[in-house]
Amino acid sequence: MTGSSESLSLSGIKVGVVGLGKMGWHFAKRLHDDGAEVFIHSRTREKASEHEARGLVYCQTPTELAQKIDGGFIIICVTDTDAVEQVICSDQGLLLAIDPGTLVIDMGTTQVMNTRILAGKIEKAEAKYLDAPVSGGAIGAEQGTLSIMVGGADDDFHRALPLFNVLGQNINHVGPLGAGQIAKTANQMIVAMTIDAVAEALTLASRAGADPAKVRNALLGGFADSRILELHGQRMIERDFEPGARATVQLKDVVQAVELSGHYDLHLSGLETALTLWQGMVDGGLGDLDQAGFIRVVEKLN
């Protein structure tokens, strides 16, 4: 099931946003601009200063934020599974104050099994839960063009659609709780292995005597075309490795994919090779580079 591309005004709706990194910062801005009453929390208070100046309300803890939502929505967009667990379960977490009926939406990339456990804790508090990870990066978050992959109950998905329509364009209800994170795992597997393929292809083109920029242009629009070739390929050619999404984040997602495949006794050789290469990139001191910096791993191996 796919969400409508039509955006509805969020006037009068209370939304909490926990996590003001590259994605959450834009989530809060877009929701506020569309009329929602937005409450924010970040471990780094400075990230909230511009939002506070525009009228968004800062909360010192997730508990305080939950107290202000009155059964509305809480979006979590933090770095990893441990951070999501802290937001929900810590001694300053959401569970201490969440109102029945509040819809909690995890829009980060979280381990599937942990997602189901956390959802159970939220539901025990008579609140609701969706896992809704995204793809499209900081640019997609800023422009509201993200792909959003949603796991959870039908009613909760439809209730959250007005928010999703503000944040993204390709909105899909994949299945029950955890299904959104499964889809995101598949997404990150393809991203990790495609970045490797693009880096290797451009390296081969250069070594064999062709201009990699012209090779990339020749491939665009053909069967090998992809957003990875378009965006990361251009960054590789320009040697622009200023991080949009860091290699450390990609490694974390590949690790989660390997863990999930292991849970189901799957041996996925391409994924396991990707893990070795991305781990090598981070261990080699390149973890803070953009994912496109992966081409340096390929070059170093050759």
Report the relative pairing of strands 134-135 and 146-151 from DSSP bridges.
antiparallel
Cα 189 from Cα 246, distance rounded (Å): 16
Length of the chain equals 302
Strand partners, 173: 150
Cα 108 from Cα 111, distance rounded (Å): 10
- Residue 17 exposed, middle or buried by CB count within 10 Å (0-12, 13-18, 19+): buried
| Six token digits for residue 293 | 């910096």
Q: How many helices (H) and strands (E) does the chain have?
A: 14, 9
What amino acid is encoded at 161 in this protein? L
Catalytic member of 184, 214, 252, 300:
184
The alpha carbon dihedral of 106, 110, 111, 112 has a sign of positive
| Six token digits for residue 50 | 């511009």
Contact assessment for residue 235 and residue 241, using Cβ atoms and an 8 Å cutoff: yes
- The whole-angstrom distance between residue 279's C-alpha and the CA centroid of its chain comes to 20
Q: Is 184 a catalytic residue?
A: yes
Contact assessment for residue 161 and residue 13, using Cβ atoms and an 8 Å cutoff: no
Residues marked as catalytic: 184
